[in-house]
A and B are shown apart, each in its own frame.
Chain A
Amino acid sequence: MTLAEYKYADTIHRCFRCGYCKFPVNWMDVNNCPAYARFRMETYSCGGRLWLTKAWLSNEIDWSEHLAQILYSCTACKNCEEKCPLRFNVDIFNMIQAARAEMVERGLVPAAVKEFLENVQRHGNPYGNAREGRGEWSQETGIEQYQGQDYLYYVGCVGSYDTRAQQTARTLGKVLLRSGVSFGVLGSEENCDGNEVNALGEETLFEMLAEENVRKFKDLGVTNIVTLSPHSYNAFKNDYAKYDGSFPVLHYTQLLRDLITDGKLDVSGGMNARVTYHDPCFLGRWNGEYDAPRQVLSAIPGIELVEMEKNRESTLCCGGGGGNFYTDFLGGSENSPARIRVREAATTGASVLAVACPNCMTMLEDAVKAEGLEDKLVVKDVSEIVGEVCGIG
């Protein structure tokens, strides 16, 4: 593909590289682009990626492994889109995604991305784990297979396979059972939602996953979906309609909020804790849902909810989006965004860092260990906090 054939050929040169994209709303630092925070070289800024993309497609520079890593270091957090003052800002991530698609097309992706995509293609998950094991997390929980219940509880790859995130998936399932919600899971029949595959630029594989999931959901008569992961939520809500899959979908924090409001979930037991909440990018900036998780936490007596300085639209991404929870292009440094983020959380004096995303959970929990903050800060999913309040382990 030449620059002229690139979908954003008329737009990509419009980035001025003024740098607003590095800031949170209040300008307190220039670390709100996760990749720039990690490397602090202009190449890793949003503007750097756009200029390099144009240079590559114009044959001003050759492809290299380094170029590919720079493009894949973007976590799709959309901080840049939120902060860029120019009118094309809505297409910033699309421009990166389209460049990645070209790399996929030419077989020029980094090894870790290739592995991610191959694993999803072969096993339906990025870890390369067996499909049959996808439902093991729910054993002995009483959670049923989906058979036309009110909700399909879609867990996603991380919740299904990551040991720590499996605990979250189980706890949420038990909370939903306790609340009397009619739901079921797909277990080993669940397949990857494709959100990260799409972000990594593998359009064909995403299309296959979406079409297959839509077919399956329809065959099973799925009417409503509740997701553990904001990433799944985003794919179902925003991308599946193209594949004739317009299913009403909730992120679980929205359902828990409604259950509490309707008196179906009793959180009056309370919890004495100072809690700070980290907004997941695919719930917050991608879908504008900042309130539901806070409403759940605020409904619990005894919880003192304190905000980090960078919250809502200004949240610093954990660094795990866009497949980086697996490819790990931003890891290995005290400047890794997850480590910066847990340091920010610790400064609030909170003892609990609440998350609402299994990717954030794994990224931030690892970061707490790397920072040696285990004695001060515990990462808990909002569902786990609710579970504790309800006496569910």
Chain B
Amino acid sequence: MSSVYESLVEIVGGEHVSTQAEELYIYSFDLGTTEPHRPDYAVAPRTTEEIQEILRLANREKVPVAPLGGGLSLAGLALPLKGGISLDLKRMDTILEVNEKSRYVVVECGVSQGQLTSYLERHHPTLMHSEPGAPPMATIAGNMAIHGQGDLAHPYGFNSDMVNGLEVVLPTGEVCRFGSCSVSTQWYTNHPLPDVGLFLGWAGTTGIITRVSMKLFPHKSIVGAGQFVVKDENLIPEIIHKITHTEMVHDLVAYSQAIPPFSSGLHHLTINLSADSEKELAFKMELIFDDTLGHYIRSGDGGYLGFNRGLQRPQVSKTSDWRKGGGFEYVGSIMPVETYPDCYRRGREISEKHGIPYTVLGRVIGMSHAMMFSWTYAFNRADPETMDQAREALHETDDLVLELDGAIWKPGTYGQKLVMERMDPNTLNLMKKVKQLLDPNGIMNPGNWEVS
């Protein structure tokens, strides 16, 4: 029995540490195409203090630590690429505070998106957070750590733009707080103190986020989704521009997919609206579907498919069963909205080349400031050939993103390498210095964002 194991047992208790083959097997897998990487320990802490002790131990013993939230990045970002500790953070699942008046929530890092959605629905029905399209197991903090976006991305931007404060355990074990919580008991703002945003988008390589304060937004009593469809992908950027100009929509997504076959090649826009009265809803619907989109309908370029009240929760997992094989992975990117037509055409070519039904989607971020565009590739986990096809398609798509002047969102190691090859050298050097300063022994999620 190693001294590391014994120390871990002392920190979190024997039931929450394992070196047994079963845990090491399960924690070696990502849900996407990344090859498995076996940890030496699977550990599930409950408190910030336990994480501090684990990181001190890891530093002392030079043991890598790979933090794991919901494990749903699909890009292998939470895999122990260099062994060590797979740190499952989902036991830290307390919703600590909801401030209705200042509209924020403070959560521990293992709180899932689903848990928060449910909590707000039951206890604070006038509030909502920007829920990503991921399954409900995805965690709030994990989503922050990869610059995620959700269903309020159009009006309010990235979820990481909604951070009011963070508690982070540094790789060397110190706890730091950022935002108003660093000077007061309140977690209501991330500004105006000096910006030390070193933890968002770093995929856990600079520290472990243990608490997050996140902005909440008004949840109106009536919600629904309108569907609009066009054949010509070249119309999508201008339609998005016009719709966002109204400032009336709370989520705007354009997508196209090969399944079902009858709608292959069509481009659907899901336009989510919310209102607190029928009058408000009627006004918004008229503004969007008559005044803004009416021209396309009258010219025969577009079709209004109707408006459904209530929002169906996303069940993205169904994509994993398209090839009856329990798997899919996608390349996400942050792209200018005007690249939608190219993204669609080129992505479709890649899919068809690899014999994979194409699925592309663009979610508007901000007032058309950008979109998260994704290309999804389903595979059959029992068929290595389809996994290879998907992997190749993903790599080609990573290349495509950069070719189209985009930025890869939450890239895996292949995409990270591409990004760093292109990155401004001074920026890259700063990243290296920051990493060396915060993580002198290189224990935090090594293999990710490693500047050579």
Residues of A within 8 A of B26 (CB): 41-43, 48, 51-52
Shortest CB–CB separation between residue A234 and chain B, in angstroms? 28
Q: Please name the residue on chain B nearest to A40 by beta carbon.
A: B91
Shortest CB–CB separation between residue B327 and chain A, in angstroms? 7
| A30 lies within 8 A of B318 (CB) | no
Q: How far is the CA of A202 from the CA of B315 in the complex (A)?
A: 36
Residues of A within 8 A of B64 (CB): none
Q: Interface segment, B15-23, B158-166, B345-353?
A: B15-23
Indicate which residue in A27, A39, A67, A309 contacts B136 across the interface (CB closer than 8 Å): A27
| A26 lies within 8 A of B321 (CB) | no
Shortest CB–CB separation between residue A362 and chain B, in angstroms? 24
User: Given contacts A30-B112, A40-B16, A41-B88, are A16 and B317 in contact (CB under 8 A)?
Assistant: yes
Q: Please name the residue on chain B nearest to A64 by beta carbon.
A: B21
User: Given contacts A26-B122, A30-B93, A55-B25, are A39 and B15 in contact (CB under 8 A)?
Assistant: yes
| A5 touches B (CB below 8 Å) | no
Residues of B within 8 A of A61 (CB): 21-22, 25
Q: Interface segment, A17-25, A164-172, A225-233?
A: A17-25
Q: How far is the CA of A85 from the CA of B318 in the complex (A)?
A: 7
Residues of B within 8 A of A88 (CB): 321
| A376 touches B (CB below 8 Å) | no
| A369 touches B (CB below 8 Å) | no
Shortest CB–CB separation between residue B129 and chain A, in angstroms? 13
Residues of B within 8 A of A43 (CB): 18, 22-23, 26
Task: List residues 311-328 of chain B with CB under 8 A from any CB of chain A.
Answer: 315-318, 320-321, 324-328
| A66 touches B (CB below 8 Å) | yes
Q: Please name the residue on chain A nearest to B114 by beta carbon.
A: A27
Task: List residues 291-309 of chain A with CB under 8 A from any CB of chain B.
Answer: 309
Q: Is the interface of B mostly helix, strand, loop or mixed?
A: mixed
| B11 touches A (CB below 8 Å) | no
| A28 lies within 8 A of B115 (CB) | yes
| A13 touches B (CB below 8 Å) | yes
Q: Please name the residue on chain B nearest to A26 by beta carbon.
A: B118
| A29 lies within 8 A of B115 (CB) | yes
- Interface residue count for A (Cβ, 8 Å)? 38
Q: How far is the CA of A67 from the CA of B72 in the complex (A)?
A: 24
| A60 touches B (CB below 8 Å) | yes
Q: How far is the CA of A13 from the CA of B29 in the complex (A)?
A: 13
| A87 touches B (CB below 8 Å) | yes
Task: List residues 59-76 of chain A with CB under 8 A from any CB of chain B.
Answer: 60-62, 64, 66-67, 70
Shortest CB–CB separation between residue A320 and chain B, in angstroms? 20
User: Given contacts A16-B321, A28-B118, A30-B137, are A40 and B21 in contact (CB under 8 A)?
Assistant: no
Residues of A within 8 A of B400 (CB): none
| A18 lies within 8 A of B23 (CB) | no
| B44 touches A (CB below 8 Å) | yes
| B234 touches A (CB below 8 Å) | no
Q: Please name the residue on chain B nearest to A36 by beta carbon.
A: B90
Indicate which residue in A23, A27, A85, A309 contacts B317 across the interface (CB closer than 8 Å): A85
Q: Please name the residue on chain B nearest to A65 by beta carbon.
A: B20
Residues of B within 8 A of A287 (CB): none
Q: How far is the CA of A101 from the CA of B42 in the complex (A)?
A: 29
Smallest CB-CB A-B distances: 10 pairs: A19-B137, A27-B114, A16-B320, A18-B317, A13-B382, A27-B118, A18-B135, A14-B326, A28-B118, A85-B315
Given contacts A19-B137, A41-B42, A41-B44, 18 further A-B contacts (CB under 8 A): A13-B382, A16-B31, A18-B316, A18-B317, A20-B136, A23-B136, A26-B121, A28-B115, A28-B118, A28-B119, A40-B44, A41-B16, A41-B23, A52-B25, A66-B20, A70-B22, A86-B321, A87-B321
Partner-B contacts on A (CB < 8 A): 10, 13-20, 22-23, 26-30, 39-43, 48, 51-52, 55, 60-62, 64, 66-67, 70, 85-88, 309, 333
8 cross-chain CB contacts under 8 A: A16-B317, A19-B135, A19-B137, A26-B122, A30-B90, A30-B114, A43-B22, A60-B25
